Structure 1
Amino acid sequence: MLTKATDDGLKKYCYIYRSMAYNGLANYKNSVADMNKAIALDPADLASYTDRGKAKAFAKDFNSARQDFLFILTKDTTGKQAQAAFYFLGKIAYQQNYFQQSVLYYDKYVALDSTDAEVYFNRGAAKDMLMDAAGSISDYTRAIHYKPNYMEAYANRGVAKINLLSKKGNVIPVKNQTIDACADLKRAKQLGDDTVDDMIFIHCTSK
């Protein structure tokens, strides 16, 4: 198709679709190369920068990926591509241990779309890393509101509730203090999360 295509618009979409195919095969180098060609044919298409940034992020080329998403924000600060940029900038910042920056990017995403369960979960995880247990609990609660069977959010909220008790001076909280946290941990277990077993044994099992 590419060798026969003469229209630039058709060529662009051929490169985009092939890039997506490479991305699905985890061949990120070729995916990025094809998105480079698509962008050369239509530099104004911000979605192509999003797709290229995603491929770079999957390849763990975080600094280059960040540049694509920051470029998008020079052109769009409220639309779908801006949302994608804030989302991936939040993820990249988290991967690079810039947790406060990650929270700030997710704040900007939430200002555009306040109903995304995954973004609340991701922001909660970043707040966990900042030892902001109360803030993370609030975000996990919102994530569960929008996705009621969010297993990971129940697990993380349960752990965060125990961490909050520990911050208040209860190194090992007693059972009557962990009832609420244990309800979350047990719900996560019910939904299929076996990683909470140790926490349930330590904090929720009668001795």
Structure 2
Amino acid sequence: MKYTIYTLIILFVVACNTQDSLSGDDYFDDGEYEQAIDAYTSYLETHPDHVKSLYNRGRSYEEIGKSVEAVQDFEAIIELDPKNINAYLSLAKISYNSREFSKVLVYTGSAIDLNENMAQAHFLAGRAEHQLGYFDQALESYNNAIAINRDFGEAYLYRGAVKVGKEQFRSACEDFRFARSLDVADADKAIQDYCK
């Protein structure tokens, strides 16, 4: 009888914890990030190694502008799973938004080492290289992103911007027009500014 009660208590605790994780997922999917953080935090108290909950909590922190907390979660994921490409890409995005472009290259380099066919990683590397003034490397990174995903509109837009810097206006305008055909918001302005 005593063991049955202990078993029921354990099952109840496990069910409640699982519910916290599922609730976190529901809140996250609905864009209710504060509630998602609370639910994931509750779940992670008893399951600190649950990568999906850590990742979604990190993304929730990111959505509400708490970058420090997001970075902590993404770094914890990499300690648990050094091959987690999504964590590297999330760290690269946060670093880009913080204007820490050298860090972006470290994180995107790790992601590309794990999977060289990650268009987003090449694109983010290109954005960082572009900001650092490494125009030839940025061009190569944008080319890689486009080679992997022919419909990567932003890669065309920013590759065009690099070409403008290199005074390759005709080729830049081809990229801007292709970006516009893929519904990239800033493509029309680039065409107006550089393609007379």
**Pairing of 1:47-62 with structure 2 (within 5 A):** 47-62=52-67
SS at match of 1:114: coil
> Where does residue 40 of structure 2 map in the other structure?
35
> Where does residue 63 of structure 1 map in the other structure?
68
**Pairing of 1:1-207 with structure 2 (within 5 A):** 6-78=11-83, 82-163=84-165, 165=166, 173=167, 177-193=168-184, 195-205=186-196
User: Residues 195 and 47 of structure 1: is their aligned pair in 2 closer, same or farther, counting only changes over 3 Å?
Assistant: closer
Give 1:77's aligned amino acid.
Answer: P
Give 2:97's aligned amino acid.
Answer: Q
User: Residues 84-104 of structure 1, C-alpha deviation per residue, up to 9 Å, x if partnerless?
Assistant: 221111111111111111121
SS at match of 2:194: helix
Report how far residue 8 of structure 1 moved. Answer: 4.0
For structure 1, the 5+ residue unaligned runs are 166-172
Higher helix share: 2
Q: Please give the alpha-carbon distance, in whole angstroms, between the structure 1 residues aligned to 2:182 and 2:39.
A: 41
Asked if 1 retains the 8 angstrom alpha-carbon contact of 2:28 and 2:56, the reply is no
> Following TM superposition, where does structure 1 have runs of at least 4 consecutive aligned residues deviating by more than 4 angstroms?
none
Answer with 97-106 or 44-53: which moved more: 44-53
Q: Please give the alpha-carbon distance, in whole angstroms, between the structure 2 residues aligned to 1:199 and 1:84.
A: 31
User: Residues 30 and 155 of structure 1: is their aligned pair in 2 closer, same or farther, counting only changes over 3 Å?
Assistant: same
Give 1:182's aligned amino acid.
Answer: C
Report how far residue 140 of structure 1 moved. Answer: 1.2
User: Residues 33-91 of structure 1, C-alpha deviation per residue, up to 9 Å, x if partnerless?
Assistant: 1001111122232222112111111111111111111122222212xxx2222111111
Asked if 1 retains the 8 angstrom alpha-carbon contact of 2:49 and 2:80, the reply is no
TM, length-normalised to structure 2: 0.86
Q: Please give the alpha-carbon distance, in whole angstroms, between the structure 2 residues aligned to 1:72 and 1:32.
A: 16
SS at match of 1:111: helix
Q: Please give the alpha-carbon distance, in whole angstroms, between the structure 1 residues aligned to 2:112 and 2:56.
A: 21
Could you tell me the percent identity over the aligned residues? Answer: 23
Report how far residue 202 of structure 1 moved. Answer: 4.2
- CA RMSD after TM alignment: 2.1
Answer with 192-201 or 14-23: which moved more: 192-201
Give 1:91's aligned amino acid.
Answer: K
